[in-house]
Structure 1
Amino acid sequence: MAQPTNTQFAVGVHLLTLLAARPGEWRDSQSLAFSPATNAAHARRILGRLREAGLVRSHPGPRGGWMLEREAAQIDLAMVWLALNGEDPVLGMHVPQPDCRAGQRVHQTLLDLDRRARRALLDELARTTVADVVREDSVTTVDGA
């Protein structure tokens, strides 16, 4: 099975569920990175973007770490997608030769399709919150969260 090239959304949701499992507790990036099988630097990059979106907060230092900025029920997965993907297209897009009419038509058709797919994706993701994901995960995680 083909693997997606960008897993930041999945890792971001995973990190948010770990934070939601221990509300009000600072979690360091090293321990958070263990469960989604990534490294602490990658986890910090993702968490930094989630912080910029107002979904998590951080505190530097040896007793610092990360925690949710708001309740897990107030964070829907569309917010996570937008924080990590911004306005990037959902579909892989290319830029055709400017003088190729067929290429320009294909490109415009794909742009329109991408706009509709993005709207459908965000609408669907908005129906699920981090709290929903935590509820669906009734098994204790590897790190005991």
Structure 2
Amino acid sequence: MSANSRLTVAVHALAWVGLYQSRGFEVATSEQIADSANTNPVVIRRLLGELRTAGLVHAQRGAGAGWMLSRELAAITLLDVYEAIGSGPLFGMHRAEPNPECVVGAGIQPALGGVYDRLDRTVRAELARTTVADVLNDTLSPH
């Protein structure tokens, strides 16, 4: 099993666009953002499309086409990004129903369901407290 990096790449893209715009550039291309994230521009375009649907970015078409923030980075929480890209639950249950004749199989999902719900609420609260501007500031600070 591998970790889902969509949230990380989406935050990376927003932070990059925000920094780029703060340096006086109007629009950023998906190719520029992809170069920073070391991924394919198609991946960036798909994520930016989801962020656009959520109202976090907008696209300029025609000459000088590219992406721009729809709000300041300080007004975009990581929860906004998380919800925009449809990340879904942090943890899922079995792909196939466990054996209901087994004592563990019959009770494991209800037992874990409450734990997963509490974890989801905790993660969402933390994501809501953190803005993309916070992430960019931490990124740019000397480590």
**Per the shorter chain, which TM-score range?**
0.7 to 0.9
**Residues in 1 aligned to 2:86 and 2:111: alpha-carbon distance in whole angstroms:** 22
Give the count of matched residue pairs.
Answer: 136
TM-score normalised by the chain length of structure 2: 0.84
Unaligned runs of 5+ in 2: none
RMSD: 2.0
- Kindly state the Cα deviation for residue 27 of structure 1 after the two structures are TM-superposed: 0.6
Residue type matched to 1:13 in 2? V
**Residues in 2 aligned to 1:43 and 1:20: alpha-carbon distance in whole angstroms:** 15
Q: 1:128 aligns to what?
A: 130
Residue type matched to 1:91 in 2? F
Please identify, of 13-22 and 100-109, the stretch whose mean Cα deviation from structure 2 is larger.
Answer: 100-109
Contact (CA 8 Å) 1:96, 1:104: kept in 2 or not? no
Percent identity of equivalent pairs: 38
Contact (CA 8 Å) 1:59, 1:65: kept in 2 or not? yes
Matched, 1:8 2:6: yes
Q: 1:105 aligns to what?
A: 107
Matched, 1:22 2:56: no
**Residues in 2 aligned to 1:76 and 1:125: alpha-carbon distance in whole angstroms:** 7
TM-score normalised by the chain length of structure 1: 0.83
Unaligned runs of 5+ in 1: 140-145
1:59–1:104 distance in 2 versus 1, CA, 3 Å = farther
1:102–1:130 distance in 2 versus 1, CA, 3 Å = same
Q: 2:62 aligns to what?
A: 61
Q: Which has the higher helix share?
A: 2
